[in-house]
Homo-oligomer: A and B are copies of this chain.
Amino acid sequence: MAKYVIGIDFGTLSARALLVHAKTGEEIASCEYKYPHGVMDEKLPNGKKLDIDWALQHPQDYLDALARVVPRVLKIGEVSKDDVIGIGIDFTACTILPVFKDGTPLCFLAEFMSNEHSYVKLWKHHAAQDKANRINDLANERDENWLIRYGGKISSEWALPKLMEVMDEAPEIFEKMDYFIEAGDWLTWLMCEDAKVNACCAGYKGLWNKREGYPSKEFLKQLDPRLENIYETKLGLPVYPSYTRAGTLTERGAKLTTLNVGTPVSMANIDGHACLPAARITGPGKMLLILGTSYVHKVLHSDEMPIPGICGVVEDGILPGFYGYEAGQCGGGDHFAWFIENNVPYKYYEEAKNHGMDIYAYMRQKASLLKAGESGLVALDWWNGNRSVLVDADLSGLVVGMTLRTKPEEVYRALIEATAFGTKTIIDNFKISGIPITEIVAAGGIAKKDPLIMQILSDVTNMPISVVHTSYASALGSAIYASVAAGSKLGGYDDVYEAIGNMGKVDDFVYKPNPENAKTYTKLYEEYKLLHDYFGRGGNDVMKRLKNIAKEIN
């Protein structure tokens, strides 16, 4: 009798569930549930206005999603819940909320409903930048050794700045909450018995380290006396790796999921990290590249090394026995969307219409006909700032080389090339820090849909690039972890690497570098690097000064 596992990927706007065969990873059914409240970035449910930079969610949406997608995939897949041997979830992070010790979110209470700090602060809630700055300044001042694990700077998106924001701006909520917990951990807790937190979130977003634990009480006290014991109290839940079992469904958990009591549940995971098992990456040398509006890069390595400009390195954060390194480009696909929306002339729309093509396809076709280097353009892909390797949100975009003969498709292609040069910069940064990369596996919308971007990435990095087979990479990764949580006795796996080897899958087609283009891109990359270092490492801080001038004016 075939057994099945369910993986659910809780994204920014919806939850997507995947029902897969627990041994082969074969996809049986999938479905999506859009959160009714979506992203609350303008007002609370009661109409109360939110400041700019805010981004909240409603935890009820996650519960509703869970209750709907599980029976739905089972129905579509014609699978009985009796044959489901495990469930796993992944979540955006740091997406975090204040709860009582029975698991009730504070925003469920009438008392706190109209206080914006009682809701889930979504990963892209950016209102705690001043707290992040304070943490970074003090950590730098005290020369805290954990800072280098995060490339030298922590983000305003993470748990501690978000908690400090509550502490400073809604002290009553700070007082009343028992835990400030990642939404993914909150969900697995409600499904199982005990409250625990996953090592992936704790490590990448919560300043936790397997060997050294959290930042010292001394540091915390100096940051704010109210924080001295915070990692023993509100942030003090026990940490378990994502590839381990969180528990089994309780009565409450069975009701929430419509599955049987006793069904194994894996620890939650960060959505991007859940792609790694789906991409069949089981060790060093291969980089997972997630190509969305922004780009994310993940690499495994057996040692911990200080690498400048990464987003984080966490021991056992992704897979057992490895340090998981994460890097990122703040801008990826959003450059192309910006270009298409703001820079494509009227006549191209007309021509696209005449060819019966959408404008993306038309621009892709025009840009595909260009040879590498023929436009004479180079760009810096910093429209949304730079995460790795410069860690500087105040950088901005640049294009050089325009003439009166420059065509829109040339600028479009220059932007694609620039994002690829950004990826190569990250690869080189790993390489010179002692982590060689020889191959890329790509996931995300662009990987499946845009052969031009993929080929340019291959040409620029001069590496083969495979593409994750499924369009539900994160959900498949969660399903793989669910299979491991179930174990071999139930029909799953005892060993996570065995599970990955059998359930993860990449497409047969592999992008391979075109040697001619790769040669030209080697030259263009030299130009990119020169500009990168000049504008990004203090040679000319014009980008920052321009932003400051703009701020003064507005």
A residues near B (Cβ < 8 Å) are: 331, 334-335, 338, 341-346, 349, 371-378, 383-384, 396-404, 406-408, 520, 523-524, 527, 530-531, 534-535, 540, 542-543, 545-547, 549-550, 552-554
Contacts known (A342-B407, A527-B546); A553 close to B378, Cβ less than 8 A? no
Q: Which single residue of chain B is at the shortest CB-CB distance from A527?
A: B542
* Residues of chain B contacted by A404 (CB below 8 angstroms): 331, 334-335, 338, 383-384
Identity of the chain B residue whose Cβ is nearest the Cβ of A337 in the assembled complex: B404
Known contacts A341-B345, A343-B343, A530-B540; 17 further A-B pairs (Cβ under 8 A): A342-B345, A345-B346, A346-B349, A373-B550, A376-B547, A376-B549, A377-B546, A383-B402, A397-B400, A397-B401, A397-B406, A398-B398, A401-B542, A401-B543, A401-B546, A523-B549, A527-B545
Closest chain B residue, CB of each to CB of A378: B546
Residue A542 contacts which of B334, B384, B530 (CB distance < 8 angstroms)? B530
Residues of B within 8 A of A376 (CB): 396, 546-547, 549-550
CA distance A233 to B524 in the complex (A): 51
Nearest-CB residue, chain B, relative to A534: B540
- How distant is the Cα of A374 from the Cα of B401 in the complex, in angstroms? 24
A341 to B343, CA, bound (A): 11
Q: Closest CB of chain B to A330's CB: distance in Å?
A: 10
Q: Do residues B546 and A542 form an inter-chain contact, with CB atoms below 8 A?
A: no
CB distance from A192 to the nearest CB of B (A): 41
Q: Measured between C-beta atoms, what is the minimum distance from A256 to chain B in Å? A: 38
- Tell me the complex Cα distance, A319–B383, Å: 52
Shortest CB-to-CB span from A342 to chain B, Å, is 5
A396 adjacent to B403 (CB under 8 Å): yes
Q: Which residue of B lies closest to A359 (CB)?
A: B346
Q: Which chain B residues border A527 with CB–CB below 8 Å?
A: 542, 545-546
Q: Are B378 and A542 interface neighbours, CB within 8 A? A: yes
- A386 → B minimal CB distance (Å): 12
A398 lies within 8 A of B408 (CB): no
Q: Which residues of B contact A372 (CB under 8 A)?
A: 553
Contact of A397 among B331, B384, B402 (CB under 8 A): B402
29 A-B pairs within 8 Å (CB atoms) are namely A335-B404, A338-B404, A341-B345, A342-B406, A342-B408, A343-B408, A345-B345, A373-B552, A376-B396, A376-B546, A378-B546, A383-B402, A384-B404, A396-B401, A397-B400, A398-B398, A398-B402, A399-B399, A400-B535, A400-B542, A400-B543, A401-B543, A401-B547, A524-B546, A524-B549, A527-B542, A527-B545, A531-B542, A534-B540
Complex contact B402–A400 (CB within 8 A):
no
Q: Are A338 and B406 in contact (CB under 8 A)?
A: yes
Interfacial chain B residues near A552, Cβ < 8 Å: 373
CA distance A543 to B402 in the complex (A): 9
What is the CB-to-nearest-CB distance from A359 to chain B, in angstroms, rounded to a whole number? 8
CA–CA, A406 and B331, complex, Å: 14
Given the complex, which residues of B lie within 8 Å of A540, measured CB to CB? 530-531, 534
In the assembled complex, the Cα of A262 lies from the Cα of B136 at a distance in Å of 88
- Verify A554–B374 contact, CB threshold 8 A: yes
Bound Cα distance from A369 to B7, whole angstroms: 51
Give CA–CA (A396, B374) in the complex, Å: 14
**Which B residues are CB-close (under 8 A) to A549?**
373, 376, 520, 523-524
Q: Report whether A402 and B408 are in contact in the complex, using a CB–CB cutoff of 8 Å.
A: no
Q: Which residues of B contact A535 (CB under 8 A)?
A: 400
Q: Nearest-CB distance from A466 to chain B (Å)?
A: 29
- A520-B396 Cα distance, complex, nearest whole Å: 20
**B403-A384 in contact (CB<8A):** yes
- Give the CA-CA distance A554 to B523 in the complex, in Å: 16
A516 closest partner in B (C-beta): B553
CB atoms of A398 and B397 under 8 A apart:
no
Give the distance in Å from the alpha carbon of A408 to the alpha carbon of B411 in the complex.
Answer: 14
Most chain B CB neighbours (cut-off 10 Å) among A335, A338, A401, A545: A401
Report chain B residues within 8 Å CB of A378: 542, 546
In the complex, chain B residues whose CB is within 8 Å of the CB of A383: 402-404, 406
Distance of A532 from chain B, by nearest CB (Å)? 12
Residue of B nearest to A371 (CB): B553
Q: A406–B338 Cα gap in the complex (Å)?
A: 9
Q: Which of A346, A384, A398, A524 counts the most B-chain CB atoms under 10 A from its CB?
A: A346
Pairs A-B, 8 closest by C-beta atoms: A397-B402, A376-B550, A374-B553, A376-B546, A346-B349, A398-B400, A373-B549, A401-B546
Quote the shortest CB–CB distance from A498 to chain B (angstroms).
Answer: 43
Q: Chain B residues near A554 (CB, 8 Å)? A: 371, 374
Name A402's closest neighbour in chain B (CB-CB).
B397
Q: Taking A374-B553, A540-B534 as contacts, is the C-beta distance between A400 and B546 under 8 angstroms?
A: yes
In the complex, chain B residues whose CB is within 8 Å of the CB of A542:
378, 400-401, 527, 530-531
A375-B550 contact in complex given A402-B397, A403-B397, A534-B540, C-beta closer than 8 Å: yes
CA distance A403 to B550 in the complex (A): 12
CB pair B524 A374 closer than 8 Å: no
Bound Cα distance from A542 to B331, whole angstroms: 24
Quote the shortest CB–CB distance from A521 to chain B (angstroms): 10
